[in-house]
Amino acid sequence: MNAVVEEHHDHDHKPTGMGRWLFSTNHKDIGTMYLWFSFSMFFIGGALALLIRAELFQPGMQIVEPEFFNQLTTLHGLIMVFGVIMPAFVGLANWQIPMMIGAPDMALPRMNNWSFWLLPGAFGLLIASLIMSIMGMGSAPNFGWTFYAPLSTTYGPDSTDFFIFSVHLMGISSVMGAINVIATIMNLRAPGMTYMKMPIFVWTWFITAYLLIAVMPVLAGVVTMMLTDRNFGTSFFNAAGGGDPVMFQHIFWFFGHPEVYIMILPAFGIISSIVPTFSRKPLFGYSSMVYATASIAFLSFIVWAHHMFTTGMPVAGELFFMYATMLIAIPTGVKVFNWMSTMWRGSLTFETPMLFAIAFIFLFTMGGFTGLMLCIAPADFQYHDTYFVVAHFHYVLVTGAAFSIMAAVYFWLPKWTGNMYDEKLGKLHFWLTCISANVLFFPMHFVGLAGMPRRIPDYALQFAEFNQIASVGAFVFGFSQLIFLYLVIKCVKGGEKATSEVWEGAKGLEFDLPSPAPFHSYTTPPEVK
Amino acid sequence: MTVQNSNNQLNDNPKIIGKLLVLVVIMFGFGFALVPLYDVFCDVTGLNGKTGDKVSFKTAPVVDESRIIKVTFLANLNESMPWQFKPQQSFIEVHPGKPTTINYIAKNTSSKSIIGQAVPSVSPGLAAAYFQKTECFCFTQQKLKAGEEKLMPVTFIVDNKLPEGMSEIALSYTFFTSKQNQDLSEAVTEHLSTNKSLTLSLNQDHKL
């Protein structure tokens, strides 16, 4: 055994070896594990996406069987949503919230450990189903990430039960993470930090945590109904037994729509932290940002059926969900204009985090606009289940949520590691990522409007050119992320030392701490005026 | 001051966790509560094309001879149902308010007795509230012995309050195997082997 002799300033007692990670109750170590977990899932989910794009490079069947193609789209969606975006945001919350509110750690450190370690189990189950499929032992889940019944109940492959338990575990993990965030924010704020003085990232996560607590149990409920339908003879979604498949969609989207805001509200918080720093101005309209976030969260509960316009809803229902959905553009617009006003006449500099933040504002807004097109019920009948929808949600999730995560990593990495990252490589990564993402996703708008359906391994000849362009973009995008991986490893290993402020004029309690931040953040709470 | 602050507040943790856990349980229950709520909502609003239960009239409704409504009859079988099932006529033209009886014919082509349950559905969905059945084989479960053929009557009245714009209604029945069947699995297996010829004969019937 190594003698535990380390340099101690304060009481930085770090356990060593595997135990440090397995039994960790430290918010920074757990945050790091969440981020690395998310990063590794990003490469797995990305590899599946590249297989999809390789298959779609040319019309006709090229590389994979249609049955396997369906499994690829399903697993890609599930991994990216539940394995990449959500854990990355939880990782950022773990790292940043205690530092930002002047707390020593999260409020519930042991639960924190448990909520992380459920994830490898959950994704182990899910990925095991894919491995079994590759080994010829039956299909992996093949019904799309939305797992509509009866496709996933009556017609689901045996591995659907793996999927169900995997979702249960993810749900428990998310709910525990959310409880932890709320308890931390309510109980551990530094004296003087009133709710309306909290950093905006903390505010967005506070609201996101409530969304998680409200809808993850509904997801758990719907997969439980699937489980009993499949194995215990109930008929929630089986018309033969008096159930209703359309009801599945209602319950699923009652979870699913707030879920998409779970994946974007923390992103708003990140962008609202980065833009003021590199504009050297305080955030414009702080309180309107808070209220806008809260109203988006509220509205997210009453718009779910805009995913279901083509199920034969009455006109009154379509109109209600159409107008309610349009309303969301108002608070979202408030945010976008606030970011622009923050930059207005600021002393802007364009380091990598700021580049990603500006790209986010521009490209996320484009994704928002296509969302407005989709919410118009009569138009949606044409767009429904086409590549236009795929383009829309990749603009908000990749150039939106994923870009914000990359921006956050560049922004706070020097604080985490104590070393500046390689700015040249960072810029290279940004430009390759930003351009290739647009080459990848922009043509999907065109093929979608022209009628190419989503989740199909083969397509009509006239879509070939746009699909080829998209596939080229996909491979550039995918391999560009290796630069990101290299850059992060390089920064962890060493580099130019970062100051405690890291960025000129950066505001916030986390920038009062030295870089790298000490193992326990604020052992004595700072006074906030 | 500072130390006292964080220590005092740490004691609030169990309270917050408790409240949030209650919220989690409530939301889990809410997911299941959506199931009956969904049915109630469809009942109240008349969405989903679900027709109501048996209707009886104390006095004969007024017949509106100025309007003619075309009622089309459709028959479906759930995939695991080894029966033949079709309406005797594919449509009928009726006046609103006039009671009308038509027949479906069902035949059990398997070698076991099977209990079936027909589930009606009316299209357009909003017409369902104006389509009233006074007698229907769908009100009870139907049992057919092996090879048995049976007439299945339905008596209905199209409400004369049917909105002006509607002149055609489609009534569709889907026959499901009832959960009360016990030896069904064998029957189904047998049925599946003869499935092709069955579908063929059904198709020919439709052409006639």
Tell me the mean pLDDT in the region A138-147. Answer: 94
pLDDT at residue number A523: 87
CA distances from B100 to A444, B65, B87, B126, B153 (A): 54, 14, 14, 21, 10
Q: Chain-wide mean pLDDT for chain A? A: 94
Q: Is the pLDDT of residue B197 over 60?
A: no
Q: Is the pLDDT of residue A339 over 80?
A: yes
pLDDT value for B10? 53
User: What's the pLDDT at B124?
Assistant: 82
Under 8 Å CB-to-CB from B196, ≥6 apart: which residues? Answer: none
Cβ–Cβ gap B38/A214 under 8 Å: no
**Structure confidence by residue, pLDDT tens digits, B135-183:** 888 888 888 888 899 999 999 999 888 888 888 999 989 888 876 665 4
pLDDT at A241 over 50: yes
Query: Mean of the pLDDT values across residues A494-515?
Result: 92
Q: What angle do CA A382, A388, A390 make, to 5 degrees?
A: 130
DSSP letter at A460?
-
What are the counts of helices (DSSP H) followed by strands (DSSP E) for chain A?
18, 0
| Cβ-based interface (< 8 Å): residues of A facing B | 103-104, 107-108, 175, 178-179, 182-183, 186-188, 191, 213-222, 225, 233, 236, 239-242, 244, 246-247, 250-251, 254-255, 312-314, 317, 524-525, 527
Is B41 touching A (CB cutoff 8 A)?
no
Question: Is A159 annotated as catalytic?
Answer: no
pLDDT given for residue B186 in this prediction: 47
pLDDT of residue B204: 41
pLDDT higher at A528 or A511? A511
A312 contacts on B by Cβ (under 8 Å) = 125
pLDDT at B181: 67
Best to test chain B binding among A174, A175, A212 (most B CBs inside 10 Å): A175
Whether B24 and A188 lie within 8 Å, measured CB to CB: no
Average pLDDT for residues A223-246, to the nearest whole number?
88
Average pLDDT rounded to a whole number, residues B125-143: 85
Q: Which of the pair, B185 or A295, is modelled with greater confidence?
A: A295
ipTM, interface predicted TM-score of the complex? 0.87
Which of A332, A352, A436, A480 is catalytic? The answer is A332
pLDDT band at B43 (very low <50, low <70, confident <90, very high): confident
Set of chain A residues whose Cβ sits within 8 Å of the Cβ of B127: none
Helix axes A352-375, A423-449, angle to 10 degrees: 10
Q: Return the CA Rg of chain B.
A: 26
Helical ranges in A344-400 per DSSP H: 352-375, 377-383, 387-396
**Candidate list A27, A230, A306, A445, residue with the active-site label:** A306
User: Which range in A234-248, A261-275, A313-327, B106-120 is most confidently predicted, on average pLDDT?
Assistant: A261-275
Using pLDDT thresholds of 50, 70 and 90, give the confidence band for residue B205: very low
Q: Is the peptide bond before A516 cis (omega within 30 degrees of 0)?
A: yes
Annotated catalytic residue, options A29, A105, A422, A510: A105
Give yes or no for residue A6 having a pLDDT over 60.
no
- Indicate if A300 belongs to the active site: no
Q: Would you place residue B125 in the very low, low, confident or very high pLDDT band (cuts 50, 70, 90)?
A: confident
Q: Per residue in A421-475, pLDDT tens?
A: 999 999 999 999 999 999 999 999 999 999 999 999 999 999 999 999 999 999 9
CA A141 to centroid of chain Cα atoms: 21
- Residue predicted with more confidence, B127 or A218: A218
Of the two residues B149 and B61, the one the predictor is more confident about is: B149
In whole angstroms, what is the distance from residue A455 CA to residue A148 CA? 14
Contacts of A217 in chain B (CB under 8 A): 24-25, 27-28, 30-31
Residue B11, pLDDT score: 62
Burial A72-99 (b: 16+ CB within 10 A, else e): bbbbbbbbbbbbbbbbbbbbbbbbbbbb
Residue A501 has pLDDT above 80, yes or no: yes
What is the reported pLDDT for B141? 86
Decide: residue A387, CB within 10 A, 0-12 exposed, 13-18 middle, 19+ buried: buried
Q: What is the mean pLDDT of residues A335-347?
A: 96
Which contiguous run of DSSP H or E holds residue B73? strand B69-77
Check residue B202 and give its pLDDT.
41
Cβ–Cβ of A251/B34 closer than 8 Å? yes
- The pLDDT score that the predictor gives to residue B7 is 45
Q: Do B2 and A236 make contact, defined as CB atoms within 8 angstroms?
A: no
Q: Tell me: pLDDT of A2 over 50.
A: no
Q: Match 């990848």 to its residue by tokens.
A: A440
pLDDT band at B208 (very low <50, low <70, confident <90, very high): very low
Confidence of residue A8 (pLDDT cuts 50, 70, 90): very low
Percent over 70 (pLDDT), chain A? 97
Question: Is the pLDDT at A4 greater than 50, yes or no?
Answer: no
| Best to test chain B binding among A111, A167, A187 (most B CBs inside 10 Å) | A187
pLDDT, tens only, A177-201: 999 999 999 999 999 999 999 999 9
The answer to whether A394 is a known catalytic residue is no
Share of chain B above pLDDT 70, in %: 75
| Residue A113 CA: distances (Å) to CA of A26, A416, B17, B73, B86 | 8, 19, 16, 61, 62
Averaged pLDDT for residues A392-403: 97
Judged against a pLDDT cut of 70, whether residue B199 lies above it is answered with no
- CB–CB of A303/A257 below 8 Å? yes
Contact list in B for residue A251 (CB cut-off 8 A) is 31, 34-35
d(CA A26, CA A28): 5
Three-class secondary structure of residue A328 per DSSP: coil
A259 is catalytic: yes
Average of per-residue pLDDT across A169-181? 96
pTM score: 0.87
Nearest partner of A273 among A43, A97, A149, judged by Cα: A97
| B17–chain A nearest CA distance, Å | 7
Higher pLDDT, B116 or B184: B116
A384 is known as an active-site residue? no
Annotated active-site residue A67? The verdict is: no
From the candidates A29, A55, A229, A259, which is the catalytic residue? A259
